[in-house]
Amino acid sequence: MSNKKPKTPKGQRTVMGFDFGTRSIGMAIGQEVTGTATSLGAVKARDGIPNWSDIEQHVSEWKPDLLVVGLPLNMDGTNQQVTFAAKKFANRLHNNYRLPVETQDERLTTTDAKARLFDQGGYRSLAKDNVDGMSAVIILESFFEQLWETE
């Protein structure tokens, strides 16, 4: 008997999002059916490499059907140095957890995250872990919006 879970239909999947950074990686969990996401905070990274057991803990707990990594692009849509590191991170996620991984344009998510957090709690809410986690939320929400636009 296989211990693989049955494939969840598109539109009903649990999706885990990542805001990749070289020193910190924000995480969020969301549901396609509602198009909403919740921050899981951030995990520390060294040169873009996280402590994989921190991510494993969240993957094991939430059992996502899909992983989405924010793709940092220049404002004109071209790649920057960190774009390649984010793609490498996405590949490692796929290899480590054998889950499908997609990327999502993340231009301006940090700015949006800071604005949302400030509205919720002023300057005290702008801690780096909060900003990275909220950026992951925004990456997932924009992924869901794009998904429904293409349906």
Considering the domain boundaries, does residue 142 fall inside one?
Answer: yes
* Per-residue confidence (pLDDT) for residue 83, from 0 to 100: 92
Does 8 reside within a domain?
Answer: no
Residues of the chain with pLDDT under 70: 1-6, 108-130, 150-151
Q: Which domain holds residue 142?
A: 14-149
Q: What is the domain count for the chain?
A: 1
User: In this predicted model, what pLDDT tens digit does every residue of 127-151 receive, in sequence order?
Assistant: 655 678 888 998 999 899 888 776 5
Residue 96 CB contacts under 8 Å (≥ 6 apart), including other chains: 52, 55, 56
pLDDT at 76: 83
Q: Kindly state whether residue 1 falls inside one of the protein's structural domains.
A: no
Q: How far is CA 115 from CA 70, 112, 122, in A?
A: 18, 5, 9
Model pLDDT, residue 108? 60
Which pTM value belongs to this model?
Answer: 0.82
Would 56 be classed as within a structural domain? yes
pLDDT of residue 81: 86
| Domain harbouring 47, CATH code | 3.30.420.140
